[in-house]
Structure 1
Amino acid sequence: MNLYFRLVWLFLWRIRHCKGIGFLDSSKIDYRVLPLDCDINMHMTNSRYPAFMDLARTYMIADMGLMKKFLKMKWMPIVNASEFTYIRDIKPFEKFEIETKVVGWDEKYFYIEQRFTTARGLHCIVHVRGVFVCKGKQVPIATLVKEAGYHGDTPELPPEIVKWKQFLQLKKERNM
């Protein structure tokens, strides 16, 4: 229930106060771990990370100034894959920040990195692969980048993303 409150708060208040960032810049949003975000080990439960990441990616789209445009075009973001590296736990009532940025794209997917940090340091790094869809069809990456107003060179994917892509392809081939 508290994530619905946070989603409403995001749309009613936080999105109105976006700073405005470039397509490849980092978006940052902060939250606090509430008791309902915790598991029996008294830290933020692993299932909350993806939910907070959804909120942070939504905020990033708004921070880029693309929310109204994408909603008008009926583009919906879809996560295709994600990988998490947990480093240390986040304690109850601790304030944390999620830094979200587009790290690159290929012919089919865009790739995002999300980092959870507190005053104690880095807690989790997550990579997300996704697409946008409209009326059941994928929006071509070239169209997405153009509509986002980005005109620079395609950034080189970080080595960890390249290895992860290879791993995902191997999983796909072995399970067909």
Structure 2
Amino acid sequence: MYVWARFARMAATAGRRGGYTFGADSRLTFRCLPTDIDFNLHLNNARYMMLADLGRIDIFLRSGLWALARERRWAPMLGGLQTVFAREIRLWQRFDVVSSLETWEGTAVIGRHRFVLDGGMTAAIILTTAGIYDRSGRRFVPMGDIAHMLGHDAPPRPLTEAESVFVASHANLRSLAKTGR
């Protein structure tokens, strides 16, 4: 089963989970299915990214960003990610994907997705950088403007040390991609 059934369930239940505010957690519960595993019988590394996508979409829906983006012809775009695997998620095992928008800087928002096993142990963490692209203006929208439009007027918190390292690493790798190396 591809992610579509999971997407439909998440979208159908988004209203019951209430609105999303910056810094809060979005928690989605899954079970590792036979279609999710690799030859080691644990969650395939690509599936982590796909399930993190669902966490981000849940945040977009519940925060009002999805409606705002559609109205203004904006496109949420992932800039990059870094993943750390700490423990495996085995076939049939239940787990939560806990997603949050941590902070922002300029036009980039830092997201976090933590894969949590029963008992609270972390199986993996994904840090992401993303932005909202204004197709008609052909530019990325400042995240502070978007936060304000969504009713969040507090300033972003400073980046943590781990987030600063991630942002620097992302910028360096992006530079290499642009030069074709």
The TM-score normalised by the length of structure 2 is 0.88
Give the structure 1 partner of residue 126 of structure 2. 126
Pair 174,78 (structure 1): closer, same or farther in 2 beyond 3 Å: closer
Contact 2:22 2:102 in 1 (8 A): no
How far 1:42 moved relative to its partner? 0.3
Q: Aligned equivalents of 1:133 and 1:174: distance in 2?
A: 22
Quote the sequence identity (%). 19
Cα distance change on mapping 1:35 and 1:105 into 2, 3 Å: same
Structure 1 spans left out of the alignment, 5+ residues = none
The aligned counterpart of 2:85 is 86
Aligned length: 175
Root mean square deviation of aligned Cα: 1.8
The structural deviation recorded for 1:151 is: 0.6
2:74 corresponding residue in structure 1? 75
The C-alpha deviation readout for 1:71-90, integer Å capped at 9, x for no partner, is 32332211111000000110
CA contact (8 A) 2:95 2:117 kept: yes
CA shift at 1:115, angstroms?
Answer: 0.2
Give the alignment's TM-score, normalised by structure 1. 0.90
Runs of 4+ in 1 over 6 A off after TM superposition: none
CA 134–45 in structure 1, closer or farther in 2 if over 3 Å, else same: same
Structural mapping, 1:153-164, within 5 Å = 153-164=155-166
Contact residue 23 and residue 148 of structure 1 kept, 8 A = no
Shift of 1:173: 4.5
In structure 2, C-alpha distance between the alignment counterparts of 1:57 and 1:172, rounded to whole Å = 22
SS in 1 for 2:83: strand
* Conserved? CA contact 2:107–2:132, under 8 Å: no
1:18–1:62 CA contact under 8 A, matched in 2:
no
Q: Distance in 1 between matches of 2:56 and 2:116?
A: 16
SS in 2 for 1:82: strand
For structure 2, list consecutive stretches of 5 or more residues without a partner in the other structure: none
1:51-91 deviation digits (Å, cap 9, x = unpaired): 10111111122232443333323322111110000001101
